[in-house]
Amino acid sequence: MNDLVLASHNAKKLKELQTLLAPLGYRLRPVSEFSPEVPEETAPSFIENALLKARHAARVSGLPAIADDSGLEVEALRGAPGVYSARYAGEPSDDAANNAKLLQALAGVPAARRGARFVSALALLRHADDPTPVIALGYWPGQILDATRGANGFGYDPLFLVPSLGKTSAELTPGLKNRISHRGRAMRALLKQLRERP
Ligand SMILES: O=P(O)(O)OP(=O)(O)OP(=O)(O)OC[C@H]1O[C@@H](n2cnc3c(O)ncnc32)[C@H](O)[C@@H]1O
Ligand SMILES: [Mg+2]
């Protein structure tokens, strides 16, 4: 069985990626097995940050690696917190503090202007110097509520309303979230590219 390294230190994100990749028959190994080092996410785009995380994981493991860089873009905040989503309220990353800061930033903004989307960029490298990484993006549109709801998921899930379901992302089962989320969509797009690659 081929090994694939998952370049994430976020346990809940790792679980989602593992579930999405499980049917592929890879042996999935978190990058923490190889190195405790967390590369700095210094780039201005999700794609570049995903690449730098995947490249670091491929380098420390000597194996193919995949990374997700993701975040929440809020229309009324002109795309913030965006690539800074994990550290919106400062470092270290703290979901409750990030959600509190988002609610504060949107105080007084009516429902009609609380549109947002989750973004996921996936990058897959066969090795650290791979000149043709596979990149895929996935988006998930929704709306930011004015109070948290639900206990599943992570990050901004309790504030992210999926309008067609009338539920927040934190009220969905993990299986349903993976079927419709930004990360699920990006993964299906990535797998399609892999199938079509000459
Ligand atoms: O970089 P790694 O180690 O993978 O873990 P991370 O949590 O730092 O991940 P990112 O740098 O990609 O930052 C993504 C942040 O965006 C938010 N986010 C991304 N996907 C999400 C999801 O499915 N549900 C809720 N929040 C999400 C959440 O705050 C994440 O911490
Ligand atoms: Mg990160």
Which ligand lies nearest to the CA atom of residue 71 in the structure?
1
Say yes or no: CB of residue 26 within 6 Å of ligand 1: no
State yes or no: 8 annotated in a binding site. Answer: yes
pLDDT tens-digit profile of 54-98?
A: 999 999 999 999 999 999 999 999 999 999 999 999 999 999 999
Asked if this assembly's ipTM is beyond 0.85, the reply is: yes
Under the banding of pLDDT at 50, 70 and 90, the label for residue 24 is confident
pLDDT at 1 over 80: no
Catalytic residue list contains 146: no
Q: What is the pLDDT of residue 23?
A: 84
Question: Rounded to an integer, what distance in angstroms lies between the CA atom of residue 61 and that of residue 121?
Answer: 21
Q: In the chain, how many H helices and how many E strands?
A: 5, 7
**C-alpha 62 chain-centroid distance:** 24
Over residues 108-128, the pLDDT tens digits come to 999 999 999 999 999 999 999
Q: For ligand 1, say whether the CB of 39 is within 6 Å of any of its atoms.
A: no
C-alpha separations of 178 from 21, 50, 158, 173 in Å: 11, 19, 16, 9
What domains can be seen in the chain, in order of their start residue? 3-196 (3.90.950.10)
Q: Which atom of ligand 1 is nearest to the CA of 153?
A: 24
The ligand whose atoms approach the alpha carbon of 81 most closely is: 1
